[in-house]
A and B are shown apart, each in its own frame.
Chain A
C-alpha cells in the first residue's frame, strides 16, 4: 500500500542529510541523547550529552523540486541544562538531555520540555524578524540621548531585520525527583505532563512549578525489597486519564488517574511469561523494557527490550500481539555484551504516522524497520559511505549461519561502539531522523 507511511515493501529510503561533525574523534558532549519531531514535523529537536538542544526546521518545499521534501536546517541552538552539583548528596548532576517533548503549537511561538536527570524545563522558542527603530530617547545602538538634545518627536516604527530565533526558559520544574528522570510525557489535555524517575512518577501542571502530584511510587518501605524500577512512562494519546509505565522486569502497567490519586494499583498489567528455554544469567537484563510508545491511534503500544520489539493490544494483557526480533543473533553473545556494558544500552522505538511500520536501532549503525501489515522487515545503515544525496539505502544483512554471503556482515564484525539508540519518524511523511553517536541522519522516502 503506497502513500505516506506506507508499507516498507515498496518504500525505498534515500539519504537526505547528515548533521554533526565528521570527526571520528567524538567529543562526549556532542553525543546525541534524544531526538524528537514536533507535532507537524516541521521542527526536529535533538538533545546531547552536553546539555544542548539543537532545533532544525524544515524548509518549505520548493516549487522547483517538488520531488524533494524540504531540507532541515538549524533553526535554534541553546544550552538547556548545565552541570550541577548537589552538595547535600555529594552528587554531580549530569547536564545530559534525557528527553525532549514538544507541546502542540498554540500561538506563534513553539514550546518544548527538556529534561536532564533532575530538572525539567519549559522552553519558548520564538522568532523575531522585526525590530523597533526611531526611539526618541535612545540612539540606535542603545545609548540614551540627553533629553535636552531632543528637539522633535517621532513615532518609533518596526523595521524588518534578519530572522532571530530566541529560546528562553519559561518554567523550571525542579526538586521533585530524588532518582534519575527517564521520561517526560505531555498529556493530551495539553495542560499537564508527567515525569518519571526510577521509582516515582509525578504529575505537573505546565503553569505551576512549585509543586507536583506524585501519582506512582514504587519505592518499597525497605529498599532491600526493591526488585524493579520504572524505565519509561507515557500518556495515552487521547485519553487524558490514562498512562502507562514500563519496568525493568519487562512489565507494563496501565493506570487510570480517575481511580485514585495515587496510581499504585494498576488498571492493567501487560506481561509476557518468560520462555524457560531462554533462561540465562542475563534474562532479567534483556527483559528490561527500555522504551514504551503508544501508537498514534491509541489502540496499541510498543515496547522495546534488549533483543526485541513487542506490540501490545491494549485490550490484551497476557501477551503481545506481535513480536519482532531486532538482533536475535546477539542472544549467544550476551556475556560479552555484559562485559562491555552494551547489554545496558537503552534502545528507543517509534511508530510511523499511520502505525503501519515501527522502527528501532541496533549496532553497527544499523536500524531496523518492521512493516506490520506486510510482515516484512528491513535493516538499513546510517553511515557516511552511503551519504550521497538522494542515494538509495541498500538493505543490510547480518549473517548468522556458517556461510557468509557476499555483502553480508558477520556478527563478529559488528561495531558495538556504533549504536543507534534514538530514532524518530515524521508524524505525517516518510521522513526519519536517525541518531548515531554524534551525527544525525535524515532519510526520506524516494519519490518518483
Chain B
C-alpha cells in the first residue's frame, strides 16, 4: 500500500483525476478538498518547471488535428470525460477543425465558415438548454474588438459567472466584471440573457456552484486585472493564487506534457484533451465558462 511512484508528473495526473471524480461525488464538489488538490498541483508543477528550466522552448501548445481527433475517440468512450468537458473551461489557441467549432467567435485568420455552430459538434450540449444557447448566441455576436483574440501566448479569458449568492449572471473578462456583456443591439436578446435569473436545466451539468474553476489557457502571464494592478508580476501566479488554474494547468504547464510520449501520462493527455475538445466545440478564443460561486 505504501509503494508509490513519487514524481511530479504522477502527482499531477492523480490530482487531475481527483478533481474529475469530485464532480460526480454526492453532495457536490467539496471546495476545501479541491483547494488542497490545487495546492498539490501547483507544487508539482513548480517542481517540474524548476527541474526543466532548460526546456523553456515553447512548442505549439496543441497537437495537430489528427492527433486530437484520435484522442477524441478516447474521450468518447469515457462518458465521465464528456461530462467533465462540460465543466472544464479553457482557452483554445491552437489547431482546430471546422467540425469542432461551435459558437461563432473566431480567432484571427480563421475562415468565416467556421463561425457557425456545428450541430454535431455541439452534441454534448443539451439541446433543451435554451438559456445556454442564447448565451452562446450572445457571445458569438460579441464585438471582436472587445475580446482578446486567441493567438498563442495571449490571454482571452471570458467567463460567464453565476453568483449563487445573488443569482446574478455576469461576465468576467480578464478579471473584470461586466454587468452587461452583450450591450450591442444587434445581438439577439443581448443583455437580457444576463440580467435575468438563469433557469437551470438539470440535464445540463453546469459546474457545481461550490467549486470554482477558472479558465486555464496556455498563457504564461498572469491575467491583468487592471492597468495599475500591482499584481502584474507573473511570479505572483505561483505564490498564492492556487485557485487560479491558469498558473497550474495553463501557462504552458500542462501543454508541455503534450510533447511527452510516455504512455503512463495518458491521464494527463486525456485531461488536457478534454480541454481541447471543449474549446474546440465552443470556438476558439473565448471560453464558455459557467462558473458559479
Chain A residues near B (Cβ < 8 Å) = 87-94, 96, 117, 178-180, 182, 198-199, 219, 222-229, 231, 248, 280-285, 288, 333, 335-336, 338-341, 344, 411-412, 416
Contact = CB atoms under 8 A, between A and B. Distances in A.
A357 B291 CA distance: 46
A225 B40 CA distance: 17
Given A93-B27, A231-B32, A336-B2, 4 more contacts: A88-B167, A227-B242, A284-B242, A344-B33
Nearest to A288: B36
Interface in B253-293: 291-293
Nearest to B215: A224
A412 B243 CA distance: 34
A402 to B, nearest CB: 15
Contact of A336 (B1, B225, B293): B1
Contact of A92 (B18, B28, B241): B28
Contacts of B14: 338-339
B243 A225 contact: yes
A199 B35 CA distance: 12
Given A178-B165, A178-B210, A411 B241 contact: no
B250 to A, nearest CB: 12
Given A92-B26, A94-B27, A179-B31, A338 B40 contact: yes
Contacts of B165: 178
B171 to A, nearest CB: 13
Interface in B1-50: 1-4, 6, 8, 11, 14, 18, 26-28, 30-33, 35-36, 39-40, 43-44, 47
Interface string B187-215: 00000000000001010011011101010
Interface of B: 1-4, 6, 8, 11, 14, 18, 26-28, 30-33, 35-36, 39-40, 43-44, 47, 164-165, 167, 175, 200, 202, 205-206, 208-210, 212, 214, 225, 240-244, 291-293
B200 A88 contact: yes
A229 B30 CA distance: 11
B243 A285 contact: no
Contacts of B209: 89, 91, 178
Nearest 4 CB-CB pairs, A to B? A94-B27, A284-B39, A223-B212, A281-B43
Given A179-B31, A281-B47, A89 B243 contact: no
B26 to A, nearest CB: 6
Contact of B244 (A90, A224, A339): A224
Given A92-B26, A285-B39, A229 B1 contact: no
A89 B292 contact: yes
Contact of A226 (B35, B44, B200, B208): B35
A283 to B, nearest CB: 8
A412 B2 CA distance: 7
B232 to A, nearest CB: 15
A304 B244 CA distance: 28
A338 B164 CA distance: 31
Contacts of B242: 227, 284
Contact of A87 (B3, B4, B47, B200): B200
Nearest to A340: B1
27 contacts: A88-B167, A90-B202, A92-B27, A92-B28, A117-B27, A178-B210, A180-B30, A180-B32, A198-B32, A199-B31, A219-B293, A224-B212, A226-B243, A231-B32, A248-B32, A248-B35, A280-B43, A281-B11, A281-B43, A282-B40, A288-B36, A335-B6, A335-B11, A336-B2, A336-B3, A340-B1, A412-B2
Contacts of B27: 91-94, 96, 117, 180
